[in-house]
Amino acid sequence: MKKTIFMMLMAAGTLATSCSDFLDRMPLTEPNNETYLSTENQVRSYINGLYIALPSYSQYGIGVRGEDKNSDNILAEKYDLRLNGEYTAFSGSTEWSTGYQNLRDVNYFFHYYMIDEAAENDNIRSLKGEAYFLRAYWHFYLLKRFGNIPVMDAFWDDNATVEGLQIEQKPRNEVAKFILQDLTDAKNLLHPRSEYSGLRINKEAAMVLAMNVALYEGSWEKYHANDAFAPETNESKYFFEQVMAWGNELFNAGIKLNTKETDPFGAKNTGDAYANLFNKQDYSKVPEILFWRKYSVAEGVYHSVTTLLASGVVDSDGAAGISQSLVDNYLNVDGKFINPTDVKFKDFNDTFDDRDPRLLETVMHTDHKFRSATVTRPMCVKAYTGNKDEDAEILPPYLTGDGNGRNVTGYHIALGVDTTYTNSSFWDTGLPIIRYSEALLAYAEAAEELGQCNDEVLDKTIKALRERAGVTYIKPSEMGKDPNFSNFGYEISANLQEIRRERRSELALQGFRFDDLMRWGAHELIVNKRGKGAYLGEDGVLYKSFNTSVQETADALKRVLVDNNKWMDPLQALLPNGYQFNPGRDYLLPISPDELALNKKLKQNPGWE
């Protein structure tokens, strides 16, 4: 029963309130008195409720798999408004309320926690550590979106007057230090992952979150040092050093990557070892997945992600597709650069030939199980011959038709699709929330930013990740720079280029890309850009995989937007000049006028004044 209740809490919706609603708030939980949080069971029950707001798969959406439409990884007809500079002064109100309502709920715990220190056992201390983690998590959520923010280190309901809520913002680097202190406290209290097999917040997960926080702030302060978003003092070196300090401690925990040899699901190749991190039900025996969310159809806690992805949905809101830019990011399996201008990449199938196996597990291709609008079998892209038997196996990407299953680039999502699926409408694949690979990538990046990224660092980070994936590792210093790599508008070293490439490949479609673009000051990849899809010239196999002898199909293909060279260009009508992201404004969200009116000490973010 305990397990069932816990999984249901983990999969439910969010607790709700607003920072500006404090004057009208009723107590979060009744009874609101000094005996409520006084036993282990009461503490556990309350903390379980705080899990509700953490990342989850929605029952009828694709969740994190579709989040990257806010970056250059996914192109969507329902494009991201922030990328196009269309946000208004009120556009940050939901995020502000979400962050502070969850912080209020965590601080309620600290305010009413009544167990004497002498009576605490290891389980109670670990639950308290979970609360510190969650307070850090929601402050980080706000820091990434708003920069300087009021630190909510106490239960503000006692100050629920207009005068009591006049609270100044802290500089962003002070906020980051507060977060790291909460995570230090969490780490010192939490059980290790092994105690609950990753189903609860744990010591190692807290350490990875700390590395992510320090990396975010360090890189933000470096790459925004000369713009309106720079803090008064640049402490990037301090934060990069924090990444490495936390990483050095984490390495002592002995965590290993999931490889073909260690995979508990019987991986037959290196691609399986990576894919199995996203398409299985139970990750309790996968130490690389430090913290994850469990689902169970049998116990009524499930989602529709597998069904939607297998049906070709890339964005729950409308037609979309993975970008050619993301596809081009992956190396050849021999560890060498691709040349995206090579004529071979006009062939849809050749695009996947001898490439990083993670590409094949992230993007659907010929032989990957796929469900079109009417049938379920492996995707098969090959030219129609007119022979009924031979043509029967053809099943191309869903470029025709309508609805949110229609693809606008030729590239559907494979990541997270359990290929053993049936036609069930609901599924219960687990959701990884924090992985060990995040720590390896953060450590390598911080080391390079500090000028300390030697062969030893690369061997235990980038090399380990590539070899797990089945990609031959070649030292960046030996390869030199890739002339076709993303142009960030500033020079980066060969090491940093490969670290950023590895980060994009390893963490694709997992909700990291937008934050990376923001902290790197990477508007050069956004402004006046709109992304492309696969080649759809009439001489290409992708075009030929559609039966154009059927007039309806031929007409539908003519409606697919392509550029002058026949590469799909799905947003050309919607964004004729590309995304109009405003680099002087859109790196941070605006603080809502309602919040500014309530708290006169708040200062609006740059560009929104």
Please report the pLDDT score of residue 369 as a whole number.
81
Which stretch of DSSP H or E encloses residue 432?
Answer: strand 431-435
Q: Which 8-state DSSP code applies to residue 393?
A: T
User: What pLDDT does residue 311 have?
Assistant: 86
Report yes or no: 81 and 317 within 8 Å, Cβ to Cβ.
no
What contacts 598, CB < 8 A, 6 or more positions away?
A: 19, 20, 162, 165
Q: Tell me phi and psi for residue 27, to 5 degrees.
A: -55, 145
Nearest to 514 by CA among 177, 66, 205: 66
Closest by CA position to 469, among listed 267, 323, 328, 290: 267
Counting DSSP H helices and E strands in the chain, the numbers are: 21, 6
Burial grade of 602 (CB within 10 A; 0-12, 13-18, 19 or more): buried
10-residue averages of pLDDT along the chain (609 residues)? 42 37 41 75 97 91 94 98 98 97 96 94 98 98 98 84 87 98 98 98 98 98 98 97 98 96 96 96 97 93 88 94 98 98 97 98 93 76 94 94 92 90 73 98 98 98 98 97 97 98 98 98 98 98 96 96 98 98 98 96 97
Most distant CA pair in the chain: distance in Å?
80
Query: What is the three-class DSSP state of 426?
Result: coil
Q: How many CB atoms lie within 10 A of CB 340?
A: 13
Q: What pLDDT is recorded for position 450?
A: 98
Phi, psi (deg, nearest 5) at residue 159: -110, 25
Q: Which are the contacts of 543, defined by CB distance < 8 A and separation ≥ 6?
A: 536, 537, 557
Q: Output the pLDDT for position 373.
A: 58
Minimal CA–CA distance to 155: which of 89, 92, 106?
106
Q: What is the pLDDT of residues 446-475, one digit of tens each?
A: 999 999 999 999 999 999 999 999 999 999
Report the pLDDT value the prediction gives residue 32, as an integer from 0 to 100: 55
What is the pLDDT, as a whole number, of residue 429?
A: 92
515 near 216, Cβ under 8 Å? yes
Tell how strand 369-371 and strand 376-378 pair up.
antiparallel
What is the three-state SS of 499-532?
A: HHHHHHHHCCCCCCHHHHHHHCCCHHHCECCCCC
pLDDT in tens, 21-34: 433 344 444 445 56
pLDDT exceeding 90 applies to what percent of the chain?
84
- Give pLDDT, residue 35: 72
CA atoms within 13 A on the CB side of 363: 32
**What pLDDT sits at residue 36?**
82
Predicted local confidence at residue 3, as pLDDT: 46
For the entire predicted model, the pTM comes to 0.94
